[in-house]
Structure 1
């Protein structure tokens, strides 16, 4: 698959739709306009790539709806060179959006099939996260902590304490919390021991898998 002028036009239309839905962060909108989402999907879904919908990828996972990606990224309030931990690499599309916003991204994937596929795709496309890790997102990445921002791209029944502990003071954690449906939740670490919490309505994600071994 190639990236054509037609694809770029469709991305501009998608960005316009996201503006109408309330996305205002210019960096996020520029990333949506710039990143060829169709290349992150199975070729049979190429025609759907610029609809505001989630679609299946490998290992029974999905590539998130563009609005969801944009909304979560906007909540992060990114600044250049921030260290961002992403839980759930998935297709790599959210990772690419974070990189376009000039974040330094550490990304963890629990599914080995997806981890291998996406790692190869990043190399081919020239996307360069600081680290791409096969591991348990519930545990975060303690040796690279603390992080300026943490984003979770799967539904968590509760907020993993390890992730809260790996956030810098002043840092932001964006996580969808719940079982069947999730509430998009923002935690801001105000002191070593205190966090504020804000909720932003319901979304639907695949579940965050925990390594039970």
Structure 2
């Protein structure tokens, strides 16, 4: 199964914040297994990607252990996909078919989450060819999807999307921000997609005080970490 990156990342941030900040005992699940060793002849295993994840962030606390395996099997991705299926979008194409390029469910991947004072940070690394990673960096949110509403149960939320020009983090990057208002509660999600050598990295920052500057700082820190670990 293929996954749309932007809707999954937005729901992933929301779900992470609920789990991490809700006071429960839920934790990220341990490794599911090792995904295929290569992607289109080049790339990294999920085990290698897991080793390249950020192991610490000053001021943040890691939530559980890193998760790795095929992208579609990661617990957080599965939870976000289930939530997406239960969420009604007033502009149907914005929720499913046009926002962001797809990520194949069987690509090697690894994921880790950190929290700090109402903020949730999720880093995901995916083994990916340069051509597929470039599609993710070059994807753009259609103008008609810059404002939309979603409903989960009886509650509606309003979302406003801002997207910056293509950035220069790594071998090219994409930064998208989403401001959300739900029942008078305002939150922000910033996600940064970065193309590296045979991999794609995403940083998702969620919370009422999330900023683009912090999300891009974390993306650079993640890239520095991968540079030290991945050959």
Q: Provide the TM-score with structure 1 as the length reference.
A: 0.29
Q: Quick check: which one's strand share is greater?
A: 2
Q: Tell me which of the two structures has the higher relative contact order, counting C-alpha pairs closer than 8 angstroms and 6 or more residues apart.
A: 2
Q: Quick check: which one's helix share is greater?
A: 1
